[in-house]
């Protein structure tokens, strides 16, 4: 693939996902999912607006320093919203906890902080030991957040698995898309120390392709109707039997 083809691919991968984000937001709005996932909905709008700002700056040939600052702001804003989105994913499972919900939410908040701290320590460890400090020092501050995001998403899946609760369709899609973007970003971050990516465009292209795939995943899961498990047909007699069974099991 020659340079001009790469440029076209780059432009496509820059434009397409951001336009698709609007489509995801529209589908969510039509299906009233924005009420259930307000932070994810805000993220979609935020990313689209940031794209408009960054594209305008690029088109108007803004100074590179200003552009980098705006890009960094976009990434930090996106990362913060990602943590909010993960809280939303947990909230769906936590709503079943009733009285212990607040305790679990508090524990979850501390776990998040601990993971960010651990991720930061890991990131700084990388920067000041084996890597070349000074290459992309500004962007390296984002990577520890990606480590924390991956760890938290792992916990989201484990938590649902432990409880035996099926994740709502869109929750699953959000977690999958976020996990894909964060893990590809981290993998590339690690691989670029071993593999030469040339001008860096190929590195960005892989990252952008992962994001494009994530947006398509979000779109798919926003369109798919919620899976309703009707295995027990939810009959009252069966529920009585199940509850009575629990009583029998629990009776000393």
Partner 1 sequence: MILLIILASAVCAFLLFLALQVRQYSRPVEKLPQLIPIDLEAFAALTDPEEETFLQGNLPTREFRLVQRGRIRALKPYLSAFSHNASALIVAGQSARYHADAQVAASGVEIIQRAVRLKIWCGLSLVRLNSAIVFPALSSPSSEIARPYRLLTGMALDLTDKSAI
Instruction: Report, in Å, the least distance between residue 152 CB and partner 1.
Output: 11
The residue among 64 and 252 lying less far from partner 1, judged by its C-beta, is 252
Instruction: Report, in Å, the least distance between residue 20 CB and partner 1.
Output: 20
The residue among 17 and 119 lying less far from partner 1, judged by its C-beta, is 119
Cβ atoms 245, 215 nearer than 8 A: no
Distance of alpha carbon 65 from alpha carbon 77, whole angstroms: 18
The residue among 59 and 128 lying less far from partner 1, judged by its C-beta, is 128
The residue among 56 and 238 lying less far from partner 1, judged by its C-beta, is 238
Instruction: Report, in Å, the least distance between residue 240 CB and partner 1.
Output: 5
Instruction: Report, in Å, the least distance between residue 143 CB and partner 1.
Output: 9
What is the binding site for partner 1 (CB under 8 A)? 96-98, 100, 122, 125-126, 129-131, 147, 150, 154, 157, 162-167, 172, 176, 179-180, 183-184, 186-187, 189-191, 193-194, 228-236, 238-240, 242-247, 249-252
The residue among 60 and 228 lying less far from partner 1, judged by its C-beta, is 228
Instruction: Report, in Å, the least distance between residue 100 CB and partner 1.
Output: 7
């Amino acid at each position: 693939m020659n340079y001009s083809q790469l440029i076209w691919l780059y432009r496509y991968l820059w434009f397409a996902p951001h336009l698709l984000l609007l489509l995801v937001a529209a589908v969510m709005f039509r299906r009233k999912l924005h009420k259930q996932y307000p932070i994810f909905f805000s993220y979609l709008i935020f990313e689209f607006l940031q794209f408009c700002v960054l594209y305008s700056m690029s088109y108007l040939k803004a100074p590179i320093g200003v552009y980098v600052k705006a890009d960094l702001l976009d990434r930090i804003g996106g990362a913060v919203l990602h943590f909010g989105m993960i809280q939303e994913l947990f909230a769906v499972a936590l709503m079943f906890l009733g009285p212990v919900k607040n305790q679990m939410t508090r524990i979850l908040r501390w776990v998040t902080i601990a993971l960010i701290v651990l991720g930061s320590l890991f990131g700084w460890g990388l920067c000041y030991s084996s890597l070349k400090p000074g290459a992309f020092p500004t962007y390296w501050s984002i990577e520890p957040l990606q480590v924390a995001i991956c760890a938290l998403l792992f916990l989201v899946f484990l938590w649902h698995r432990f409880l035996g609760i099926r994740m709502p369709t869109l929750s699953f899609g959000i977690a999958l898309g976020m996990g894909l973007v964060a893990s590809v970003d981290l993998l590339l971050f690690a691989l670029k120390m071993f593999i030469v990516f040339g001008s860096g465009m190929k590195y960005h292209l892989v990252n952008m392709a992962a994001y494009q795939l994530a947006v398509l995943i979000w779109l798919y899961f926003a369109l798919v109707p919620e899976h309703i498990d009707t295995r027990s047909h939810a009959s009252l007699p069966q529920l009585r039997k199940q509850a009575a069974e629990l009583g029998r099991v629990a009776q000393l």
